[in-house]
Structure 1
Amino acid sequence: MEIKFAESERSTLGIEWEVAMVERSSGDLVSAADVVLTALRGEGDAPHPHITEELLLNTVELVSGVHHTVSDAVDDLQGQLAEVRAITDPLDVELMCAGSHPFGQWFEQTVTDKERYHKLIDRTQWWGRNMMIWGIHVHVGIDDREKALPVANSLLDYYPHLQALSASSPFWGGVNTGYASNRALMFQQLPTAGLPYQFGSWANYEEYVADLVKTGVISDHTEVRWDVRPSPQWGTVEMRACDGLSSPEEIGAVAAFIQCLVDDMSEKLDAGEVLPTMQPWFVRENKWRAARYGMDAEIILNAAGDEEPVSDAIRRELERLAPVAERLDCVAELDQVNLILDNGASYQRQLRVAEQNGGSLRAVVSSLTKELRHGLKPLPAKPEEPQEDFVI
């Protein structure tokens, strides 16, 4: 089976952002996507070109166009968010994004009436109905098909960095799971989801897809739902591991990190270098550590098994990628990774809000809607403690 890889300009960018709708007064999820998407229809009843439905009616997905810079992609998404708000605000519906809703129950949600989704639920049953999750997907352009799998394989070395920064699903159905990202472990229950196989050639990938199509596992390559995957129809490598991010600043930060990593790898391949990879068992362990411990994870760095706290590894990568960010004009966005490091990742902020409000998960939803509306602001500087006078 031949799978063509679309032409794509190197390191161009596209972002998909799943956003949930909640009742302003209660924080409960609202199945209003059909109302929103109907209102957004254009001339001749044409669907909106970038705002689409998702598995559940409580969700709309914002899909950016193809951009050269992260700032343009984020501005694009912000414009789409404003279009949605123009419809939801008068309905007393707020918008939020996180890997999971803190107290929503899967059995109360309505599946979007689309054959693709009904087929998924029919096959996956309880696990499929539990997919009450939100994420972001970042596409980065690959200018040569032969680069796609080496880049995807090497991106797995940075899986825990991105998982920890984006982790935002500590609660599930009203329960504190003890995980920074419960979404990461929930989503991998679907067929073909989870960590990818580390194929050595494009032909290996084509053989894999052909096998799955022949045995009825999938209809085509788009149903391979790996955490990191080539997207042949767009000519990109797609990072899908990240939990939903609650603010434009975090979207920009994580997208810039991914764009810089991919561009740096692309340049190394052009120079004839071999990209580093880790053993699959190290990659799997890193995924679990980042999902469980988030920013407190001790991660495996390389095939030699060296380890380091993920927060230290992220700071080191920010320094290493600084020249790449200059080249891609995303210095400000990459620097916003520090905003996450300083404020805490979303899961940490959610846990903090719950603790400060007597365990109230409605307060957590409220804080998430405020972050999405107003952005993630730097923490106020701590006042300097007065120096004591010492008498000798």
Structure 2
Amino acid sequence: MLEFAKSEPFTLGVEVELQIVDRETHELSPKAPQLLHRWSGPATVQPEIFQSMIELSTGVCRDAAHAEADLRATAERLLPIAKGLGVRFIATGTHPTARYTERKLFPADRYHGLIARNQWIARRLQIFGLHVHIGMENPEVAIAIQNELLHDLALLLAVSTSSPFWEGDPTGLASSRVTVFEALPTGGSPQLVHDWNEFCELVETLTKAEAITSLKDLWWDIRPSPRYGTIEIRICDGLATLRETADIVALAQALAKRAGARVAAGQGRTFPPMWRVRENKWRASRHGMDAELVIVNDGTHAPARKYLARTLDELVADGHLDGTSRHTAHLRGIAEGAPTSSERQRAVYAATNSLSEVARSVAEEFEEDVLSRGASL
């Protein structure tokens, strides 16, 4: 049976995948090896599958504010290095014009193996996400909370949507990124399991079948991470700014705390039917915060913004979310109509008819947010 590491319940670890772009053209630039060579800080900057991306990660954090401060400390040290190499960063789910055929693979055995097995499907992985690890008391609680959070994943996706363009095409989707993951044989919505033993049996079977080589090959929207003693929420698009990243992290942590309270009280909800999980994911991907999310198994649905507002009210009332925090204020702003990144990008494109301007705008959003320590936006 898989060993599940000890962790403090509901502590956080956050991973942010960044695009590396040329400072002048704002096209993806394969400068990860040079950036990593010049980086002399802690192991909070890591390579990813392509040389035009890197990942920033935090240590173990108490809350969203702590995670944001950790990410900012890394980003502030990284920006001057990037500037010296003639590049900057974009943090959204896709680049508006980049073509996957032009990407250079980072030289690592895992990435070569991934391409060898999945071919064209894996070569298209020029996508960028936010991953939120949440500490769990034990593996049984982890599975129970993961199952409870299946009801909430579409809302997290809708709030985070930031990938409306793909290879120069206005896709009509708020998140095109998640559709790329759906093509992976072990990607997308998780396999439903009832307990830790069933999960371990599934992993053993998939390994024996050579469907996976490690748990990293489970590209699920949410999955247990035994190495860290966490569950990992992976459905979210990358957010344009670290401030917005922290807002989503605060929401994810609050939803996990609510799920934990329900599980502890024996009030956990039953599995939502898979049609509802997939339909809501599709609606969030297609429409973002304009989606009508199915909230009851009989087909009852509600506008995502109203559903977010109601969810925030419940989380605050139950003590799982600080009603006075700026994260909550920003989330309430979205519920009341403030634009997500996908909506802002579409507005720039509508005003300029230029995807290069879209790329420039999101690069500036990220850089200005880091330099102003979150005071902008």
- TM range, smaller chain: over 0.9
The answer on 1:231 being equivalent to 2:233 is no
Corresponding residue number in structure 2 for 1:299 = 293
**Structure 2 letter corresponding to 1:139:** H
**Identity, % of aligned pairs?**
34
Corresponding residue number in structure 1 for 2:339 = 344
* Whole-angstrom distance in 2 between the partners of 1:15 and 1:227: 15
- How many Å apart are 1:200 and its aligned residue? 0.8
Query: What secondary structure, in the 3-state scheme, does the structure 1 residue paired with 2:365 have?
Result: helix
The one of 280, 283, 296 aligned to 1:289: 283
**Structure 2 letter corresponding to 1:348:** E
- How many Å apart are 1:335 and its aligned residue? 2.5
* Whole-angstrom distance in 2 between the partners of 1:290 and 1:177: 14
The answer on 1:32 being equivalent to 2:13 is no
Structure 1 241/308 Cα, relative in aligned 2: closer, same or farther at 3 Å?
same
Corresponding residue number in structure 1 for 2:117 = 123
* Whole-angstrom distance in 2 between the partners of 1:328 and 1:224: 33
* Whole-angstrom distance in 1 between the partners of 2:328 and 2:3: 32
Alignment of 1:1-392 (within 5 A): 2-41=1-40, 48-323=42-317, 331-341=325-335, 342-357=337-352, 359-375=353-369
Structure 1 224/32 Cα, relative in aligned 2: closer, same or farther at 3 Å?
same
Unaligned runs of 5+ in 2: none
Unaligned runs of 5+ in 1: 43-47, 380-392
Query: What secondary structure, in the 3-state scheme, does the structure 1 residue paired with 2:56 have?
Result: strand
- How many Å apart are 1:197 and its aligned residue? 1.4
Q: Is the 8 A contact 2:257 2:320 kept in 1?
A: no
* Whole-angstrom distance in 1 between the partners of 2:259 and 2:174: 28
* Whole-angstrom distance in 1 between the partners of 2:314 and 2:237: 25
Greater shift, 206-215 or 263-272, is seen at 263-272
Query: What secondary structure, in the 3-state scheme, does the structure 2 residue paired with 1:16 have?
Result: strand
**Structure 1 letter corresponding to 2:186:** T
Q: Is the 8 A contact 2:157 2:281 kept in 1?
A: yes
Structure 1 192/343 Cα, relative in aligned 2: closer, same or farther at 3 Å?
same
* Whole-angstrom distance in 2 between the partners of 1:343 and 1:305: 27
Q: Residues 267-305 of structure 1, C-alpha deviation per residue, up to 9 Å, x if partnerless? A: 222223223431111111111111111111111113333
Q: Is the 8 A contact 2:17 2:128 kept in 1?
A: yes
* Whole-angstrom distance in 2 between the partners of 1:325 and 1:57: 43
Corresponding residue number in structure 2 for 1:383 = none
Structure 1 57/24 Cα, relative in aligned 2: closer, same or farther at 3 Å?
same
**Structure 2 letter corresponding to 1:32:** K
Structure 1 364/327 Cα, relative in aligned 2: closer, same or farther at 3 Å?
closer
**Structure 2 letter corresponding to 1:140:** I
- How many Å apart are 1:318 and its aligned residue? 0.8
Query: What secondary structure, in the 3-state scheme, does the structure 2 residue paired with 1:137 have?
Result: strand
Query: What secondary structure, in the 3-state scheme, does the structure 1 residue paired with 2:88 have?
Result: strand
Q: Is the 8 A contact 2:132 2:232 kept in 1?
A: yes
Query: What secondary structure, in the 3-state scheme, does the structure 1 residue paired with 2:71 have?
Result: helix
**Structure 2 letter corresponding to 1:353:** V
* Whole-angstrom distance in 2 between the partners of 1:296 and 1:69: 29
Greater shift, 123-132 or 319-328, is seen at 319-328
- How many Å apart are 1:201 and its aligned residue? 1.3
* Whole-angstrom distance in 2 between the partners of 1:19 and 1:293: 24
Query: What secondary structure, in the 3-state scheme, does the structure 2 residue paired with 1:321 have?
Result: helix
Greater shift, 278-287 or 216-225, is seen at 216-225
* Whole-angstrom distance in 2 between the partners of 1:252 and 1:174: 29
| TM-score, normalised by the number of residues in structure 2 | 0.94
- How many Å apart are 1:334 and its aligned residue? 2.7
- How many Å apart are 1:328 and its aligned residue? 6.7
- How many Å apart are 1:337 and its aligned residue? 1.4
Q: Is the 8 A contact 2:22 2:88 kept in 1?
A: yes
Q: Residues 85-104 of structure 1, C-alpha deviation per residue, up to 9 Å, x if partnerless? A: 12011222111111100001
Number of equivalent positions: 372
Structure 1 23/340 Cα, relative in aligned 2: closer, same or farther at 3 Å?
farther
**Structure 1 letter corresponding to 2:286:** R
- How many Å apart are 1:363 and its aligned residue? 0.6
| TM-score, normalised by the number of residues in structure 1 | 0.91
